[in-house]
Amino acid sequence: MNVHAKFLRTDQLRHLLSPVLSEGLMAYGFHSIDVREDETADGLPILRVVAHVARAVPAEKRISAMDAAHAALRSEGEERIIFLTTPSGPEAADPADDGDED
């Protein structure tokens, strides 16, 4: 990590990353993101970003969107690495919904 790196707040991260990921993932029904701060097993700070989309995103498009997001972060001095996931379809259902019909 750069000595001059800064950590943006999650609201700042959402504001910065939403338009970038929207542009890259619009063709897949992009509608929102969730951002969570985390760390690796080695204790390095990372960002876990979930881009909510309607359709599956091909790996090369997800990588391109992640590259654009990294570039946007770097332009603001934010150096944490992003782990981007793009769940779609049945597996993207509300995590609070356990699937039981009661």
Please report, in tens digits, the pLDDT of each residue of the chain (102 residues total). Answer: 555 568 999 999 999 999 999 999 999 999 999 999 999 999 999 999 999 999 999 999 999 999 999 999 999 999 999 999 998 755 444 444 444 444
Q: Is residue 69 part of a domain?
A: yes
CATH of the domain at 14: 3.30.70.1350
Q: Is residue 85 part of a domain?
A: yes
Nearest to 89 by CA among 56, 48, 64, 62: 56
Counted domains in the chain: 1
49 φ, ψ to 5°?
-115, 125
Q: Is residue 78 part of a domain?
A: yes
Q: How many CB atoms lie within 10 A of CB 9?
A: 10
- Domain span holding position 23: 10-90
